[in-house]
Amino acid sequence: MKLDLNPEVEAGLVAQAQARGLSLEAYLQQILKERSATPMPIKASGDAAKAREFRAFAKGHRPVGSLTDETLRREHLIRDAQ
């Protein structure tokens, strides 16, 4: 496999490899082996997943009570903001 890296990234990886006493190839193999051993979580998609995410988000917020038409009238919002 061939990997084309920009010079800054390559220099950073070479420095990290040298700090560990490894060649760049050995260091990259070590990193990739570690990363491939840990499965990435699969993110669910669709409406059901969005609903679960919203419910989880909402649990972290306090309820604000009922918002009636009266409380949302412009006069109330402007008065309360001043």
pLDDT for the residue 82? 58
The answer as to whether 31 is a domain residue is yes
SS3 sequence of the chain: CCCCCCHHHHHHHHHHHHHCCCCHHHHHHHHHHHHHHCCCCCCCCCHHHHHHHHHHHHHCCCCCCCCCCCCCCHHHHHHHHC
The answer as to whether 49 is a domain residue is no
Binning pLDDT at 50, 70 and 90, where does residue 9 land?
Answer: very high
The answer as to whether 69 is a domain residue is no
The answer as to whether 21 is a domain residue is yes
Average pLDDT over residues 14-31: 94
Average pLDDT, the chain: 85
Average pLDDT over residues 11-30: 95
Q: How many domains does the chain have?
A: 1
pTM confidence score? 0.47
The answer as to whether 6 is a domain residue is yes
- Domain holding 3, by residue range, is 1-39
The answer as to whether 13 is a domain residue is yes
In percent, the amount of the chain with pLDDT more than 70 equals 90
pLDDT for the residue 79? 67
